[in-house]
């Protein structure tokens, strides 16, 4: 009935509202490192007496699909369950732990070694995957997320992604692009990347010699990234608010460029129309306020790590690399991941 984000962070509140969610400001008491989701939900219910069912969706499970949530809501609203939680089937043999110094042997927990299954012939076991917990109000007020008439909802293994430690991030990024939910509109293959020169391809610094010649620096990894795009048949065009034609000529990138661009969005629209592309087929890498409208328009948008705040808010992807320090190459890799998603969808 309503979507809420529970947080004590100003920036998260802004982003949540930007995407149409309502915000519940957590109190300091339930915003500690040791605070549990249940404590935050109980506090929320104290302020919202109209709520009788809560679906707690974990932000650390980014492959959740709307179709799963609709089915779970039906289990509670139409089939009378008091709580429903997500599980995934795993085929893992468990053994008892033997602590260091103990004179014990390990014991099998869910298998008979004398009649060992091939794992593909074994039905496996159900494990909570942490994607969501749905429960009626009366259970939560008693301090439970699971109880009463309970049901589990088995999710597909490829949708069961849990970000718990740092190493989970790159795995999750790959899974999301392969199996994540991208809305009802089919994905389009990127055919054009437009990149802002100053602050993206370069670090934005301009060095002036005594004879008033300008010099800039760039990262060779970014040049390799541009070459990789070209080999995949994707066009790259460059755009700049200042006249940097001599610099671009010296870099020998072989890309169409528009310098002294006073209206970047107009230039982008002209290129998009001339090439006969939909906006879903255009990617844009920018870093300044002048790039914001372009970032909002395209199908795939990105900014370097040191982009200005308004550009970061408008972008779909924020690079870990700074401008002129590999951000272009990183965004190119991100585009390649999307292309893998498109190709996977076509095969299906």
Residue 134 and residue 255 in one domain: no
What is residue 79's three-state secondary structure?
coil
> What is the model's pLDDT at position 198?
87
In a domain, 7, yes or no: no
pLDDT digits (tens, 9 = 90+) for 188-197: 789 999 999 8
In-domain check, residue 45? no
320 belongs to a structural domain: yes
Tokens of 155: 């999710």
Q: pLDDT averaged over the chain?
A: 89
Residues 65, 196 share a domain: no
Please say if 329 is a catalytic residue: no
pLDDT at position 322 is: 92
Residues 224 and 293 in one domain: yes
Q: What is the pLDDT of residue 248?
A: 77
Q: How confident is the model at residue 129 (pLDDT cuts 50, 70, 90)?
A: very high
Same domain, 223 and 137: no
Q: Which domain holds residue 306?
A: 192-346
Assess whether 270 and 329 both reside in one domain.
Answer: yes
What 3-state class would DSSP assign to 107? coil
pLDDT band at 212 (very low <50, low <70, confident <90, very high): confident
Residue 131's φ and ψ, nearest 5 degrees, are -70, -45
Cα 328 to Cα 51, 187, 201, 241, distances in angstroms: 46, 22, 6, 18
The answer to whether residues 161 and 279 belong to one domain is no
Say if residue 135 is in the same domain as residue 268: no
In a domain, 290, yes or no: yes
Whether residues 198 and 129 fall in one domain: no
- From the list 25, 94, 116, 232, the catalytic residue is 116
> Based on the structure, what is the number of domains in the chain?
2
For the chain, percent of residues with pLDDT exceeding 90 = 58
**Residue 171 counted as domain residue:** no
> Does residue 219 form part of some domain?
yes
Question: How do residues 245-303 score in pLDDT, each as one tens digit?
Answer: 877 777 788 888 899 999 999 999 999 999 999 998 999 999 999 999 999 999 899 99
Q: Clarify whether residues 136 and 232 are in a common domain.
A: no
156 shares a domain with 64 = yes
Residue 22 lies in a domain: no
Q: At what angle do helices 168-179 and 327-347 cross, to 10 degrees?
A: 40
The pLDDT tens digits of the residues spanning 294-317 come to: 999 998 999 999 999 999 989 988
Q: Looking at the domain assignment, is residue 255 inside a domain?
A: yes
152 and 250 housed in the same domain: no
CA-nearest of 217, 179, 164, 196 to 285 is: 196
């Amino acid at each position: 009935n309503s979507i809420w984000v529970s947080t004590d962070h100003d920036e998260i509140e802004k982003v949540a509202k930007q995407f149409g969610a309502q915000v519940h400001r957590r109190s300091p008491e339930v915003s500690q490192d040791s605070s549990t989701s249940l404590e935050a939900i109980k506090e929320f219910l104290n302020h919202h007496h109209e709520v009788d069912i809560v679906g707690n969706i974990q932000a650390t499970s980014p492959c959740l699909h709307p179709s799963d949530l609709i089915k779970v809501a039906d289990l509670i609203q139409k089939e009378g369950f008091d709580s429903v939680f997500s599980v995934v089937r795993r085929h893992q043999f468990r053994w008892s732990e033997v602590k260091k110094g103990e004179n014990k042997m390990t014991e099998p927990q869910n298998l008979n070694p004398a009649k060992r299954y091939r794992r593909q012939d074994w039905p496996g076991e159900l494990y909570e995957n942490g994607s969501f917990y749905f429960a009626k109000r009366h259970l939560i007020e008693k301090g439970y997320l699971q109880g009463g008439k309970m049901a589990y909802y088995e999710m597909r293994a490829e949708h069961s992604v849990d970000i718990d430690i740092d190493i989970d991030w790159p795995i999750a990024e790959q899974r999301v692009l392969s199996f994540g939910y991208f809305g009802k509109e089919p994905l389009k293959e990127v055919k054009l990347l437009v990149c802002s020169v100053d602050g993206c391809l370069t670090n934005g610094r301009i060095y002036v010699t005594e004879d008033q010649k300008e010099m800039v620096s760039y990262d060779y990894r970014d040049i390799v990234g541009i070459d990789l795009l070209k080999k995949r048949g994707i066009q790259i065009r460059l755009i700049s608010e200042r006249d940097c034609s001599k610099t671009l000529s010296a870099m020998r990138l072989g890309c169409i460029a528009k310098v002294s661009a006073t209206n970047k969005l107009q230039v982008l629209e002209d290129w998009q129309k001339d090439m006969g592309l939909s906006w879903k087929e255009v990617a844009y890498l920018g870093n300044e306020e002048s790039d914001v409208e372009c970032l909002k328009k395209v199908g795939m948008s990105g900014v370097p790590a040191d982009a200005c705040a308004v550009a970061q808010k408008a972008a779909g992807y924020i690079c870990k690399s700074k401008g002129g320090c590999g951000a272009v190459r990183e965004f190119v890799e991100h585009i390649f991941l999307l292309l893998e998603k498109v190709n996977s969808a076509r095969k299906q």
